[in-house]
Structures are given as C-alpha cells and as structure tokens.
Structure 1
Amino acid sequence: MPLFEIETEAHIIITWAEGEDEAREVVADAYPHDEVLRLTKRPRDTWVISKGVLGLTTTKIDPCLVARDCLSRSAGDKVNAIRLYRMETGSDLESARRAIESNMVMGW
C-alpha cells in the first residue's frame, strides 16, 4: 500500500492509502473543513523527519567540525562549502561564510 503526503491549509498528513481518492477520504474524515492543497505519493514506503531540521536535538553541533566536513565534501570549494554549511546548520549566509572562512584559515 503506498504512502501519501497530504498538505492542507493547517496540516501535513502522512497516511497509507490504496490510491489518491482513498487518501483524500482520510482528510475528509479527519479534517472535513480542510482543503487539500497538495497530495503526493511518496516514492518509498517509509517517511523520515529529521529532528535536527525541526530544532529538536539537544546536542550542540560543533560548528568547526561541521565547517571542516563541508569543506572536505566540497573539495575546498568555498562557495559550495558555504552552501553545504547553510544546509547542515540552518545558518544565514553571513554566519556560514564566517564559519567556512575561519576554518579555511586554520586549515582543514
């Protein structure tokens, strides 16, 4: 049975359904006043939500380790490393630039 992601104005619903019509019925039963904005059949049968993306992790990430990892993955390409750092940490452009540049100076 496929897994569907259904977005309404107020909710994101993840549900198993035989098809799109059945997935819409799930919304109609649970939230009759919500309009379906987006309905997507997921390509796999599992769903993962990163706690880090939601800000639910309690461990502090060492920004230098992240910056060095981003530099390594980008083969020293500063612009790509900044982009990776922003994706990893959710930092703004200026903070990411400072973290990457300061770690480039220290040698990665």
Structure 2
Amino acid sequence: MPLFEIETNSHIIITWAEDEDAARNVVHEAYPHDELVRLTKRPRDTWVISKGALGLTNTTLDPCMVARECLNRSAGDKVNAIRLYRMETGSDLDQARKMIESNMVMGW
C-alpha cells in the first residue's frame, strides 16, 4: 500500500492509503475543515506535523516553498539552506532550522 504525504493549510499528514482518493478521505475524516494544498506519494511511516506548533501559520508567505527553494539552491546542504532561509524570511535560527529539517523529507 502506498504512503502519501498530504499538506493542508494547517497540517502535514503522512499516511498509508490504497490510492489518492483514499488519501484525500483520510484528510477529510480527520480534518474536515482543512483545505488540501498538496498530495504526494512518500516512502515512510505515518506522522503528522501541526504547522501551528512550528509557528508556520503566516499565510502571506508559503514557508514550505521558500524552504524547498533554499534546499534546492544549497544543493541539499542543510546548514547553507538554513542560512538562506534566514536571509529570505528574517526567521530566527531555531525557526529556520525547523523549516529546513521538516522539508528535507522531500529527498534532499
């Protein structure tokens, strides 16, 4: 059974599901008021990260896209990506580290 990473406006959910429709149903049942942002197949165990717990609820800036771009520009070098993320967003070291590390599951 494939594993899916599902990003909503409030959560990142990784769960087993038969197909994309079943993965969407997992989100709808658990978080019926969340808006689906991204759905991707992933190769890991089930876990959920609350964006609010990470301090990532600023809707004017998509922190995941910024973090992924910083990882891309740094060729996956975590320390350099954190530095780039801090420069791009003005975030403190701890918040930048959390963002980069939470987005490293993309395969960097």
Which category of TM-score, normalised to the shorter sequence, fits these structures? 0.3 to 0.5
TM-score w.r.t. the length of structure 1 is 0.44
More strand per residue: 1 or 2? Answer: 2
Computing the radius of gyration over CA atoms, which structure comes out larger, 1 or 2?
1
TM-score w.r.t. the length of structure 2 is 0.44
